Amino acid sequence: MDYSFPRYLLAKQTVDDRALNKDVINALRHHLPSKPVSIIEVGAGIGTMLKRLVEWNLFCSGEYVLVDSIQENITYAWDWIPSWAAEAGLSVETIGMNQLHLCDRTRDIQIRFQCADVFDFVKANQAPADILIAHAFLDLLPMPESLKSLFTLTKGLAWLTINFDGVSSLLPSITPALDEKIERLYHASMDMRPTGGDSRMGRKMFEYLHFENTEILAAGPSDWVVYPQNGNYPADEKYFLQFILHFFESSLKDCEELETNKFKQWLTRRQEQIDCGDLVYIAHQIDFLVRKKS
């Protein structure tokens, strides 16, 4: 099977739409600064958060900077954003090599694409934004030390979403003991990434944010819950599940604590459950809206 990370990011768009905590979103809406608004998103992927903010009327005027270290994501975003914008009735203008201008009667948005390591971008950035967004990203970084650098990118507000918090459930069960072992080892692999990461980032963020002298304006669960309806998954969520299974496989393929054949059989059975429209996937995460204290 061909595994495309940009397609995975596109497929999880509907999963994230359901998951993002609505109380935290309402708090963001309440605390939005006056237009125009400047936003920096780190680990921005293909730009699905920008699309979401435009569609939800949270961002109508200002500058949006997409920062991602993967060139494939930036390249995909450069083509995909004008496509959905045009479908939404927005005029699209290309400005130079890395900027777009989207507008209609009520919206006027400048977009800048930056392919860079997030910490290189932090060092080079001269102008903090009104809002920092880190979506499904902080649990991939060395923490808590990364927060101090990231918070230099915002004048005040930070919307920190989909922070994984140590629960992955695949249902129905195959063999309870093996299911539990695989899930435990999968989480442990997150804690051993050479680039940093934490399988319980969500709950630890409360303490980390306290020590970074920030005020938590809102927080709440943002769980992924993917399930079939009449034997089918909505949108492209079947591909999303296949990619999640790919994460399990790539993370644990060399794990000495797992018997190779049993793990292969487990993966095969999970794939069959996806194909039959039987698999349910749940992952627990937490969203935050925070403000730097002066």
* Average confidence (pLDDT) over 124-128: 94
pLDDT tens-digit map of 45-102: 999 999 999 999 999 999 999 999 999 999 999 999 999 999 999 999 999 889 999 9
CATH code for the domain in which residue 191 is found: 3.40.50.150
- The answer to whether 280 and 170 have CB atoms below 8 angstroms apart is yes
Domains in the chain, number: 1
Q: Provide the pLDDT confidence category of residue 125 given band limits of 50, 70 and 90.
A: very high
Per-residue DSSP letters for 170-236?
A: EES-S-HHHHHHHHHHHHHHHHT-TT---TBHHHHHHHHHHHTTEEEEEEEE--EEE--BTTB-STT
Mean pLDDT score across all residues of the chain: 96
Cα 172 from Cα 279, distance rounded (Å): 7
Q: How confident is the model at residue 268, as a pLDDT?
A: 97
Confidence of residue 35 (pLDDT cuts 50, 70, 90): confident
| Total Cβ atoms within 10 A of residue 186 | 17
Query: What is the pLDDT, as a whole number, of residue 127?
Result: 93
The range of the structural domain enclosing residue 224 comes to 5-292
Q: Does the pTM of the predicted model rise above 0.85?
A: yes
Supply the pLDDT for residue 183: 96
287 pLDDT higher than 90: yes
The mean pLDDT value for 253-264 works out to 94
CA atoms of 235 and 256, how far apart (whole Å): 37
> pLDDT above 70 covers what percent of the chain?
100
Q: From the DSSP assignment, how many helices (H) and strands (E) are in the chain?
A: 11, 10
Are 263 and 41 in contact, with CB atoms under 8 Å apart?
Answer: no
What number is the average pLDDT over the span 254-274? Answer: 95
Position 1 scores a pLDDT of 75
